[in-house]
Chains A and B, each alone.
Chain A
Amino acid sequence: SAVISQKPSRDICQRGTSLTIQCQVDSQVTMMFWYRQQPGQSLTLIATANQGSEATYESGFVIDKFPISRPNLTFSTLTVSNMSPEDSSIYLCSVLKGQTYGYTFGSGTRLTVV
C-alpha cells in the first residue's frame, strides 16, 4: 500500500486567513481524495483531486472555499480559504492505488480557527 505524508499535522489559524495542506505519496497513485472529519464524527468527502485538471467537488463544497491542486500523480494540496471557526476540523488526504490495494489515509491535519 501507499505511504502518505500529510503536513501540517495541526495548526491554529486566525479567522479570515487561509491554510494550505500538503499530501505527498511515496508512489504514483490512481486517485487522490480530500475528506473532512468534524470532531467526534465520521468522514465527509470534500472532493476528488484530478491530476492536471480541476478537482471534482461534492455537494456543499466549492472551489472558491477549498481550492485543490494535483500537479502530478504523487502530490496534492488542499487550501481552506477565508477561514471561520466552523472550518475547525480534521482534514484527511486519501489515495487509491490501483484497484486491489484499497484506500490509504494520511494521519490528518487538525485545524483550529480562532
Chain B
Amino acid sequence: TQLLEQSPQFLSIQEGENLTVYCNSSSVFSSLQWYRQEPGEGPVLLVTVVTGGEVKKLKRLTFQFGDARKDSSLHITAAQPGDTGLYLCAGRIQGAQKLVFGQGTRLTINP
C-alpha cells in the first residue's frame, strides 16, 4: 500500500498548456515537499509546505497544501519544454524525521 498516492504517473502535453499533479494520502503530514529530478541527478527541492491551506508560488509553479495536511497539488501554468522531468512529492510523517515519497510524475512538455 502506497502511503502517498501521486497522479498522474505519466503526463505528456504541448507547450503552453496548463497541468496539475496531485498527491493524496489518508495520513497527516507535518510538512510536504515537492522535488524535481533530472536523469543522472538526485532530486532537487522545489518547495516545502507546512501549514494546512498554504499556497506557495515559484514563477509558473503553484503549490498547495490541503487544509487537513493530507494532500497537495502542483499546478504549472503555460508549461515549457524546460519543465520536462520527474516530479516527486514527499511527506514528512508527524513525529518522525523520514520522508515518504509518492510514485512520481514523469512530465514531458512537447514543443
Question: How many chain B residues touch the partner (CB < 8 A)?
Answer: 21
Could you tell me the distance between the alpha carbons of A71 and B65 in the complex, rounded to whole angstroms?
A: 37
A43-B88, A45-B99, A48-B98 given as contacts; is B104 within 8 A of A107 (CB)? no
**Given B41, B43, B104, which contacts A41 in the complex, CB threshold below 8 Å?**
B104
A43-B88, A48-B98, A107-B40 given as contacts; is B45 within 8 A of A102 (CB)? yes
In the complex, what residues of A have CB within 8 A of residue B88's CB?
A: 42-43
Could you tell me the distance between the alpha carbons of A45 and B98 in the complex, rounded to whole angstroms?
A: 8
Among B38-78, those with CB < 8 Å from A are 40-45, 48
Q: Closest B-chain residue to A9, C-beta based?
A: B40
Give, as a whole number of angstroms, the nearest-CB distance from A60 to chain B.
13
The answer to whether the Cβ of B108 comes within 8 Å of any Cβ in the partner chain is: no
Give per-residue flags for B79-92: 1 if the beta carbon is below 8 A from chain A beta carbons, else 0: 00000000010100
Give, as a whole number of angstroms, the nearest-CB distance from A63 to chain B.
17
Given contacts A42-B103, A43-B90, A102-B48, 5 further A-B contacts (CB under 8 A): A42-B88, A42-B101, A43-B88, A45-B100, A103-B33
